[in-house]
Structure 1
Amino acid sequence: MKSPLALFRRRPRVSVIRLEGVIGAAGRLGGPSLTDARLAPLIEAAFRKGKPKAVALSINSPGGSAAQSSLIAARIRRLADELKIPVHAFVEDVAASGGYWLATAADRIHLDPNSLVGSIGVIYAGFGFPELLARHGIERRVHTAGVDKSMLDPFRPERQEDVDRLMALQRQIHGNFIDQVKERRGARLADRDLFTGEIWVGEGGIEVGLADEIGHLAPTMRRLYGDDLRFSMIAPRRPLFRRLGVPGVADAVGEAIGTAEAASHWARFGLAAP
């Protein structure tokens, strides 16, 4: 027979932060986004509300802004270290590029057998239209104060000095990404070049040290912290009109733009945006 006092015993709790979508600019004009400013109060609540036993990151992201990835991951680590709370990352479809940067904020990274991880690199993609303009007799007029202000202008022929400058910037960001992975994963990393932009699936990511084990959120957390564990989902509050089922104009426009931008990020991994 259970003691009557058991009814008043506080059950252990795990805070769950869902990190889904493209990181950074996809949230323009009210659409969904993963940015440090938007996530800051949620991350604070996850660590400070109710003295959680652990924090779980539920990640499904193809990447995005390197700066926002760094800011979000750093915020998670600061709170984890300050409050001595373990952090676990659980990857769904993908944690690649900036999405993997977020995963490195965790002490342990858990995968589904079909999860994609990696893509530790930096990418720039664009288009060039100078011949199209010339063909239609359109004159491009650009006036800048500073010779580099119109770097990589898509309406003029590509300049090698612009490409060299871009590559130098990319090497700096790539180096910061590599430092983050090495600092967080340490001796768990395989003795090979993992920073070429390659991706791995499930067990392959574990074999090279980018993740720790196959495991889903609820059963893994209960195995580690007890069968009577409670899960507290930390999510942003939707705008009033959204809660009433009536999207505003800014919401609708923002979502349309965000969907188009997100589709290209997810498509790089053969996935459709959720």
Structure 2
Amino acid sequence: MQNTPPRSRIEIDRLRKIFLAEGREVVAVDDASFRIDDGEFVALLGPSGCGKSTILNMVATLIAPNGGAIRVDDAPVVPGRPIAQVGYVFQKDTLFPWRTVEGNIGYALELAGVPTGERKTRVAEAIHQAGLDGFDRFYPASLSGGMRQRVSLMRTLIARPEILLMDEPFGALDTHTKLDMHSVLLSLWERERQTVLFVTHDLGEALTLADRIILMSARPGRVKADFKVDFPRPRDAVKLRETPQYAELFSKVWHSLGEEFAKGRSA
């Protein structure tokens, strides 16, 4: 019996993006190509300015490419036309300050017209999954940065997206809180197995979370390397970092990433 090939969820084909800055063209992304299959957790890693977030925003239909193509579930992406099965978690929590934790998490369900009883049940479940029990009536101003980011994550996940785009969602958190969020995300992802494209500049974060690391070159951003992260799952976000396998792969990727840092400084 032949094995069924994995289903492609995101395809990036020779993608190119140019911005105008102070009257001149800046090539942010150039000839970038990669594919993400169903259920994969892929980290997009690279130095600042290499076009990681730009690629993510093009997949999310927020900005238009200048060349190449993007397909989600074999359908061409149309700039400005949202994709129903795609959820986006931003760098900042973007919570509504006038809404409580439960009000923020349930917002997408309200927009979708989910009945009140079902909405309350799903919101309560999401609050429990995120470890926010007892904080359902709190407003964002009363929460820590990590707690706000948990609310933001659950507000996206409660809509049950099949594909999750994440743009450095934990970048502003301290190391301890970031590791805590890694554990939360890993636990949630192990249960649902969404297809994830996760932008980060933190190599440790990429190794902790991802199945693959796509390493971008210094600007203009091109795909430099594609590293397989074959640490067994489920993963412990803290204990994993103490293993020799982690140290070995960290060193390998860091060497390649360091070359791009050096190029960026000399540009």
TM-score range, shorter chain: 0.3 to 0.5
* Bigger Cα Rg: 1
- Structure whose residues are more often strand by fraction: 2
* TM-score normalized with structure 1 length: 0.32
- Structure whose residues are more often helix by fraction: 1
